[in-house]
Amino acid sequence: MARREENTFDFLGLFTEEIGGKKNKSNGAIKFQKDKLFIEKRSRLNGKLKDSYEISYDELDSESIDRPAINRVEIKLKDKTISLKTLDHEMLDNFEDKLLDIVEGPKLAVEDSPVANAPYNAAEIKSDSKIGEIDIPDQIRKYHELYKEGIISEEEFENKKKELLDL
C-alpha cells in the first residue's frame, strides 16, 4: 500500500471505480505528486482508509479524461474507469484543469504557430498581449495559480512569467 506524503488533497469527494462493469463506490481523496496521482479510498460509513494506490501520469492522456457532467470527472484507464463526483464545482474545475495541464503539457508551443516563422513587429505583439493563440495574461494567471497551489515554486513562476513577458 502506498504511503501518503501530505494531508492536503486536490480532490475530495465520491470516488467510483468501474472494473468489468462492476462499480465500487467509496469516498476518495486525490493528491497531485511530481510524476503521479496519489489516491486514497475511504469507507463511506466511517471514513477509515480502505486502500490507496498511485497512477502514473504516463498512463493518462487528454482522451482519457472526460467531464460528462458539471459535478463529475471521469478518468479512463486500461483496466478501469474512475469517476470523481462532488458538489464543489470549483474544486472539480481546478482538479480537471491541473490534470489536463499535466497530461497535455504546457501550451506554449510558439514555434508551431504560423506567427513564429513570420516577420513581425515585437512591439505590436506585446501591446496586443497575444501571440498566435497564446493569451499572455491568461497564461501568467494560470502559472500563478499553480504557484499558489504549491505545484510550482516561486522561482519557477517568476521564470515563466519573465519568459512570457519577453515573447
Does pLDDT of 73 surpass 80?
yes
Instruction: Read off the pTM.
Output: 0.58
Model pLDDT, residue 106: 63
Band of pLDDT at residue 95, cut at 50, 70 and 90: very high
Confidence of residue 142 (pLDDT cuts 50, 70, 90): confident
Q: What is the pLDDT of residues 29-38, one digit of tens each?
A: 999 998 999 9
Per-domain residue ranges of the chain: 11-87, 110-165
Q: Is the pLDDT of residue 146 over 60?
A: yes
Per-residue pLDDT, 98: 92
CATH number of 11-87: 2.30.29
pLDDT of residue 144: 86
How much is the pLDDT for 137?
82
Q: Give the span between the Cα atoms of 135 and 113, in whole angstroms.
A: 13
Cα separation, 153 vs 7, whole angstroms:
19
